[in-house]
Structure 1
Amino acid sequence: MTARVDDDLRRALTDVGSSDRGVQNAAYQALTAATDGPVAWAYEAWDELVAGLRDRDNHVRAIAAQLLCNLAKSDPEERIVRDFPALLEVTRDDRFVTARHCLQSLWKVGALGGTPLDTYREGLVARFAECRAEKNWSLIRHDIVCSLRDVHEATGDETVRATALELIDSEDDPKYRKKYAGVWKAQRAGRTA
């Protein structure tokens, strides 16, 4: 049984859609703090956040994406697998800052392991390949490699490292291949330090 969202969090969920940026940012901060760990009320807010991924306001889209990624740890039904394509669509947002906010949160889905990890990995591999035609393709690819590194750090899953290294090796431009490889070198240096 899903727990109810308390009144303050219910108000924050509503305030995410506010046109007042101060109200919206306060709501985002409250919800981010509330979803730092697993919560019993995830499904009470789930569909509302999925709908927010298509909101006309790019701030709402970014907030909804980040909160869904946070709620993935509170998702025993693995709804995140069903809704992952909608999250991945936000990584193509016309507002690049919105796309990046989503992309930089997706690692939380991969960190769950199992089917969510498989869905996440497939989505990011496809995204890495298709983004080459986009204006900010190198930043998107860098964020994907960083996301995979974050999942590897969270899980220790060596198949994630293998996926990242395959993507890095597929980069034609030596400058960017070196930049992406540096993400993994930094991880190794951090672990030995």
Structure 2
Amino acid sequence: MDDQMQVEFEKSKTGDKDERYEAYQHILKVTEQKVDWAYDVWDQLLNDLTHKDNHQRSRAAQYLANLAKSDPDMRIMEDFPKLWEVTKDGKFVTARHSLQSIWKVGIAGTPQKDMVMEYMIERFKDGTEEKNYTLIRNDILQNMRNLYDHLNDESIKQTALDLIDTVDDKKYSKKYMNIWK
């Protein structure tokens, strides 16, 4: 990792509000593509998933999701449950930001896609007792749409449509279908 990226990671934790946000944006932009330094920060990001500061947890989750495509050793397959836990964070905004980025793990390869889909399907089906579960379901379906748009895998679309068919509330069923129009 070059010095500039090290500085960006440091700023994303310790800078003032504007510096943190700029560093966060920069890191997300850089990690949209494969990078060769993912493992330089991987373990620290795993640790930060349980950081006392919810902003740190959220950023760590988003960075790891982006870095999954830069993970030739497929560490994400073992570390994913830790990442997934942040999607259930006590701070709903942290949970939601983490959940909204989780689809990016799925573009790293077929095993990663299958794992992410499995977790999302289970949560969609079994998460109705969660607070704000309709928003969580919406995010899950949007994640599936993002995966579908990226991978053009018809099975993802069919899975999403099948899940929507299980929703009894017409208002939400219609809202969810709008994601697939």
Work out whether the TM-score is over 0.5. yes
Checking the alignment, whether the CA contact within 8 Å between 1:113 and 1:155 is kept in structure 2 is no
1:47-126 matches, within 5 Å, as 47-126=43-122
Aligned to 2:180: 184
Aligned to 2:167: 171
Aligned to 2:130: 134
Aligned to 1:26: 22
Q: CA deviation at 1:46?
A: 0.8
TM-score, normalization by structure 1: 0.88
> Which 10-residue stretch deviates more, 25-34 or 174-183?
25-34
- Deviations, residues 46-83 of structure 1 (Å, cap 9, x unaligned): 11111111111111111111111111111111111111
- Percentage of identical aligned residues: 46
Q: CA deviation at 1:84?
A: 1.2
Q: SS at 1:86's partner residue?
A: helix
> Which 10-residue stretch deviates more, 17-26 or 93-102?
17-26
Aligned to 1:12: 8
Q: CA deviation at 1:156?
A: 0.9
Checking the alignment, whether the CA contact within 8 Å between 1:142 and 1:180 is kept in structure 2 is yes
Q: SS at 2:13's partner residue?
A: coil
Q: CA deviation at 1:19?
A: 7.0
CA RMSD in angstroms comes to 1.4
Distance between the aligned counterparts of 2:104 and 2:126, measured in 1? 22
Distance between the aligned counterparts of 1:132 and 1:35, measured in 2? 33
Checking the alignment, whether the CA contact within 8 Å between 1:72 and 1:109 is kept in structure 2 is yes
Q: CA deviation at 1:94?
A: 1.2
Distance between the aligned counterparts of 1:60 and 1:19, measured in 2? 12
Q: SS at 1:37's partner residue?
A: coil
Distance between the aligned counterparts of 2:6 and 2:128, measured in 1? 40
Q: SS at 2:24's partner residue?
A: helix
The change in CA–CA distance for 1:134 and 1:19 in structure 2 (over 3 A counts) is farther
Q: SS at 1:17's partner residue?
A: helix
- Deviations, residues 151-172 of structure 1 (Å, cap 9, x unaligned): 0110011111121112111112
Which amino acid counterpart does residue 70 of structure 1 have in structure 2? N
1:36 aligns with 2:32: yes
Distance between the aligned counterparts of 2:151 and 2:100, measured in 1? 17
1:155 aligns with 2:131: no
